[in-house]
Structure 1
Amino acid sequence: MSKRDIELLNKNNVGDETHRELLVAQAHIWNHAFSYINSMSLKCAIQLGIPDIIHNHGRAMTLSDLVNALPIDDKNKGLDCVYRLMRILTHAEGTKLNRVFNESMASDARLVISTVIENCKGVFEGLKSLVDLEGGTRTVAKSVANAFPEINCTVLDLPHVVEGCEGGKNVSYVGGDMFKFIPPADSILHDWSDDYCIKILKKCKETIPSKENGGRLIIIDIVMDHNRDHKSYETQLFMDMLMMVGVDGKERSEQKWAKLFSNAGFSDYNIIPILELRSVFEVYLNPPLPQNFK
């Protein structure tokens, strides 16, 4: 093969490679252009009630059983349409988004808890044990454990979340349901905003000592305040809408927080507004009055 033939072959190969790269790039552009179809498909599935139907079925469900349970008239046409709808939903694994979300939550927690530890050391003084409800990324418990080695920290979360987590000198992990059981401790950290808040608070009340014995409930959460600067309050409003749409929850004013604490049986609280959008709560439980008290 002559030198010229080799040059022509290499030139053609380069041209083919360039075409392949352009076609791959074109496919990626189409993917970005049509990516909204993922969320629209999910919306369609929710409007049809597919998640509830599968959940209520209680076991593996065939496509034909799913179609028969749907409120559609033309079952034959529906079979093909639902198959194609479910195909795109099962293809959208979402593992990358899950990792990004978890890391963003961990990053947020690192910033918040480092500020709390630096500026609110008194919140943790005198504590011997602490439970982090829905500890998830374990960021809060690890930070507290490192800063206060005398505190034994426990992370409580669902079994599959804490499975495989290795404890340390003063950090341990418990798999469970916070609506049923919370390990005894002097202080409990949690960040929860939904209709079950009082149930959680009552469970917390069962496990912590009274105020005179050093027990306290520590909450890091938003306190809605229209007297803040415009941007900060607007961000709190955004968070409230996110809670309403995403988890059927809400952000609360100090008055609404106080009502929750009272309804759950707590007697006193203190707010430390050092986190701009969020505040640190110390919630206390006074000992019950003697039975012969009049």
Structure 2
Amino acid sequence: MDVKSIKEEKAEVEIWQYVFGFTPMAVVKCAIELEIADAVESRGGAVSLPDLASAVACSPSALGRIMRYLTHRGFFELHESTNQYSNTPLSLLILKSGANSLAPLLVMEASPTMLAPWHGLGARASRDGSSGFKAAHGEEIWEFGSQNPAQSKLFNDGMASHARRAVSEIVERYGGVFEGIGSLVDVGGGDGTALRCIVEACPWIRGINYDLPHVVSAAQQRQGVEHVAGDMFEHVPKADAAFIMWVLHDWSDDECVQILTKCREAVPKEPGKVIIAEAVIFEGEEDKYRDVKLALGVAMLSHTDKGKEIGLLKSGIS
């Protein structure tokens, strides 16, 4: 078989991954909603299909097909000697009760509200400057959230699940950046989860969680964290330092300058600092999260009018 034939054969197989490309998200979302991983964990970590079907109130036949797919994708392991399923490191990441679970983020991204803009991606690409989210729902994502509390909670729960994992990594790798800071304002901090994690790791810090009124009004009270409502384009509360994570990628370059200017105005020269946490796409370099970052880049195209992920070329920022 010549090289061209090998490539063609590979393409014939790979195209089916795109025909049914929605399947992984849909089936994993189903597993989260049924709390399959939680059911396995609560039954000693190993359970037969009939017992699992009883635990999650499903048809054994239907659940068997779902579990076959999830096992194939690495979410569960089926032990032939006992004919029982057990969790894997992957399924532990979708535990509803898991401290490090990303289940809320997946459920948020898989919601009809967040999926609808993707269906207009082609139209969005042809009319640069108008978001797919607004085309699908009549208003931008932030305005939509202010009028739809359920969607706002879904979004903030998803962001919180990411924040718990991200802040843990940030503190572990770059914890020194928080030394000498008495107060820290988290700009666009959602429900305050990121700031709570920072304050728990650095108890000398007084935290100010800053976000839109409809976001902070629904946020739970957290020890060491004060919720403040406002607009980051107009004002940022005074603090020794500002922290801003997964916010700048939602806005244009000019809007980012406006936000960062307000952050700079809020902090003193000493020990003032602005701490930015964002995904960065390094062109031409190996990166285990490259697929995720590229997907985020298209998600910004789908869900915002001017947002984008930062790209670094050898010649500078793209």
Q: Could you tell me the TM-score, scaled by structure 1's length?
A: 0.53
Question: In the TM superposition, what whole-angstrom CA distance separates every residue of 1:88-110 from its partner, at most 9, and x where no partner exists?
Answer: xxxxx987766554333211110
How far is the alpha carbon of 1:164 from its aligned partner?
A: 5.2
One-letter amino acid of the structure 2 residue matched with residue 173 of structure 1:
H
2:4 corresponds in structure 1 to none
2:144 corresponds in structure 1 to none
How far is the alpha carbon of 1:142 from its aligned partner?
A: 0.6
Give yes or no for contact 1:226–1:233 (8 Å, CA) kept in 2: no
1:225 aligns with 2:279: no
1:61 corresponds in structure 2 to none
Tell me the distance in 2 between the aligned counterparts of 1:94 and 1:224.
33
1:133 aligns with 2:133: no
1:15 corresponds in structure 2 to none
How far is the alpha carbon of 1:135 from its aligned partner?
A: 1.2
Report the number of matched residues.
Answer: 183
Which runs of 5 or more structure 2 residues have no equivalent in the other structure?
Answer: 1-111, 124-131, 140-146
Q: 2:138 aligns with which of 33, 44, 51?
A: 51
Tell me the distance in 1 between the aligned counterparts of 2:236 and 2:134.
36
1:16 corresponds in structure 2 to none
Closer, same or farther in 2 for the Cα pair 1:105/1:120, shift >3 Å? same
Q: Could you tell me the TM-score, scaled by structure 2's length?
A: 0.49
Question: In the TM superposition, what whole-angstrom CA distance separates every residue of 1:109-140 from its partner, at most 9, and x where no partner exists?
Answer: 10010111122220100001100111112111
Which runs of 5 or more structure 1 residues have no equivalent in the other structure?
Answer: 1-34, 53-92, 261-294
One-letter amino acid of the structure 1 residue matched with residue 286 of structure 2:
D
Q: 2:213 aligns with which of 159, 163, 167?
A: 159
1:120 aligns with 2:174: yes
1:238 aligns with 2:295: yes
1:9 corresponds in structure 2 to none
1:192 aligns with 2:248: yes
1:215 corresponds in structure 2 to 272
One-letter amino acid of the structure 1 residue matched with residue 262 of structure 2:
K
| Identical residues among aligned pairs (%) | 32
One-letter amino acid of the structure 1 residue matched with residue 204 of structure 2:
E
> What secondary structure, in the 3-state scheme, does the structure 2 residue paired with 1:132 have?
strand
2:224 corresponds in structure 1 to 170
Tell me the distance in 2 between the aligned counterparts of 1:110 and 1:47.
29
1:144 aligns with 2:227: no
Closer, same or farther in 2 for the Cα pair 1:150/1:179, shift >3 Å? same
One-letter amino acid of the structure 1 residue matched with residue 248 of structure 2:
W
One-letter amino acid of the structure 1 residue matched with residue 157 of structure 2:
E
How far is the alpha carbon of 1:259 from its aligned partner?
A: 7.3
Tell me the distance in 2 between the aligned counterparts of 1:169 and 1:197.
30
Closer, same or farther in 2 for the Cα pair 1:99/1:161, shift >3 Å? closer
